[in-house]
Homo-oligomer: A and B are copies of this chain.
Amino acid sequence: MEAARHVISAPVYTIGELAREFEITTRTIRFYEDEGLLAPTREGRKRLYRRRDRVRLKLILRGKRLGFTLGEIRETFDLYDQAPDGSRQLRYYLGVLDEKREQLNRQRRDLEDALAELEQSYQRCQELLARQEADKSA
């Protein structure tokens, strides 16, 4: 019973299903496999993707939206896959996470600055428009 929970990794996807769901090409998915980002099982020659693979694909795409390269994304995967054991490893791991957090925080600051500036020009734009409408009706 205990074991069965892990054995049942029920939902399985074909490459085409994933491609449609995430609106990417099958070529792209295979490319990610070549790059070591995905490792689907095989049934004969066909690739079978399970929950874990789907999650990974999601993470890849999110990472890309955030501007990370596939190499950087793979590094984080490798990190997660290692499951560090020694306390030396753990400390190293914590350091890497710190750096990653720094990077993400900086990106957040950049993002908020950009959003603030966008709001400003949005407002200016609206005011201009309002003035034009007023002129028109006058």
Contacts and interface: CB of A to CB of B under 8 A. Distances in A.
How many of these chains are in the complex?
Answer: 2
Contact of A104 (B63, B64, B87, B115): B115
Interface string A119-138: 10110011011001100100
Given A107-B65, A107-B66, A115 B87 contact: no
- Range class of the A interface residue count: 35 or more
A62 B110 contact: yes
Chain A contact residues, majority secondary structure: helix
A67 interface: yes
26 contacts: A62-B110, A65-B106, A65-B107, A66-B107, A66-B111, A67-B67, A87-B132, A91-B129, A93-B125, A94-B122, A94-B125, A94-B126, A94-B129, A97-B118, A97-B121, A97-B122, A100-B118, A101-B115, A101-B118, A104-B114, A105-B115, A108-B108, A108-B111, A108-B112, A108-B115, A111-B111
